[in-house]
Amino acid sequence: MEAIIEYISINQQELYIFILAIFVGVEVISKVPTVLHTPLMSGSNALSGVVIVGSIIVLGKTDPANYLALSLGFLAVLLATLNVVGGFAVTNRMLEMFKKKPGKK
């Protein structure tokens, strides 16, 4: 318990970011019309692929002789890339259908 309280006081900055980010997220997103819900879900899914940053760091810092950690890290980078690239590509494909709309009879 003490350790957790200590952790909280050391990481106050992070916790402030944590809490403020929740409000930013709700504010920004609450104005999305229903039409865009699916693309938004897909787009925010692509953003959750930001774990790729962590995967790159973890694989980059792994001891090249530790094969288990190496393969886990490799898999982490691969899956996170899949999430990011696939996420943005599929979102873009959904949104392509919304262009060229205005002006057409």
> Do residues 49 and 83 lie in contact, with contact meaning Cβ atoms separated by under 8 Å?
yes
Q: How far is the CB of 20 from another protein (least distance, A)?
A: 9
Q: Provide φ and ψ at 9, rounded to 5°.
A: -70, -30
Q: How far is the CB of 10 from another protein (least distance, A)?
A: 7
In single-letter form, the type of residue at position 21 comes to A
Q: How far is the CB of 67 from another protein (least distance, A)?
A: 11
CA–CA dist 15, 8 (Å, integer) = 8
